[in-house]
């Protein structure tokens, strides 16, 4: 029987060990590594190539969404299940846009987590206690984004605080392009791309690229139809 190889990542040792102990009882699963920080997790994903990572959203250093996005950007086969202590729809959308295959609360019981892991190992996506195909997850996210736009957008053309060039950079971020790819596409330097992205994050009051995409999607400044498969839900 082919076992599902797992990496468990959480900065709280007792919680992490509890997950390891519970999943070690499953005959079709094998824990191959543990990590307590984002940087350590990314290094282990690249070196150990686990099938699935059970990953805490809030980590020291790189957070779970940043790691997930990087794994998607790198084209790695590892699938990620994000766990959070603050389960809400907005965080779920962040997780989907970053490329996570699953998203669940940290108060989940071991049996249910095992079921999610098996579904994800078969290529499914698990969000909000539902199992989705890739297309079904896309529609689920779009439906919630549409509701958010109705709540946030003003009548008429939505105002946004970005320059034309910053909007071009943001559109590339939505499509999942790396800084290097954005620089090549727009004919500007890598440092200029970084400067524009820093400006977008500052103007939006967010911490990372995924949050900037969610922020802009909610307000209707960009749409999911502009997105690329590397974002994980297209």
Burial of residue 157 (CB within 10 Å: 0-12, 13-18, 19+) is exposed
Cβ atoms 232, 98 nearer than 8 A: yes
User: What are the structural domains, with CATH classification, of the chain?
Assistant: 4-132 (3.40.50.2300), 155-231 (1.10.10.10)
Give me the phi and psi of 84, to 5 degrees please.
Answer: -140, 150
pLDDT in tens, the chain (234 residues): 689 999 999 999 999 999 999 999 999 999 999 999 999 999 999 999 999 999 998 888 888 888 998 898 888 999 999 998 876 777 788 788 888 999 999 999 999 999 999 999 999 999 988 999 999 998 888 787 766 555 444 444 445 677 888 888 998 888 888 888 899 999 999 889 998 999 889 888 888 888 888 888 877 777 765 554 444 443
pTM of the model: 0.70
Express each pLDDT in 150-209 by its tens digit: 544 444 444 567 788 888 899 888 888 888 889 999 999 988 999 899 988 988 888 888
**120 near 79, Cβ under 8 Å?**
yes
**Rounded alpha-carbon distances, angstroms, from residue 182 to 35, 124, 167, 177, 209:** 32, 30, 12, 6, 13
């Amino acid at each position: 029987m082919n076992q599902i190889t797992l990496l468990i990542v959480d900065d709280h040792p007792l919680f992490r060990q509890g997950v390891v102990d519970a999943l070690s009882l499953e005959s079709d699963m094998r824990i191959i590594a543990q990590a307590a920080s984002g940087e350590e997790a990314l290094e282990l994903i690249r070196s150990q190539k686990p099938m699935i990572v059970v990953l805490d959203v809030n980590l020291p250093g790189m957070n779970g969404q940043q790691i997930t996005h990087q794994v998607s950007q790198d084209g790695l086969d590892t699938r990620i299940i994000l766990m959070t202590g603050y389960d809400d729809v907005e965080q779920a959308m962040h997780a989907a846009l970053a490329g996570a295959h699953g998203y669940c609360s940290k108060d989940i019981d071991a049996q249910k987590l095992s079921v999610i892991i098996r579904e994800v190992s078969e290529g499914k996506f698990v969000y909000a206690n539902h199992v989705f195909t890739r297309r079904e997850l896309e529609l689920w996210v779009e439906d919630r984004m549409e509701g958010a736009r109705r709540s946030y957008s003003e009548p008429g053309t939505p105002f946004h605080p970005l320059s034309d060039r910053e909007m071009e950079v943001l559109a590339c971020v939505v499509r999942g392009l790396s800084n290097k790819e954005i620089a090549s596409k727009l004919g500007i330097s890598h440092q200029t791309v970084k400067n524009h992205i820093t400006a977008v994050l500052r103007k939006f009051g967010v911490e990372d690229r995924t949050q900037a995409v969610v922020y802009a999607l909610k307000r209707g400044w960009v749409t999911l139809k502009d997105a690329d498969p590397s974002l994980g839900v297209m």
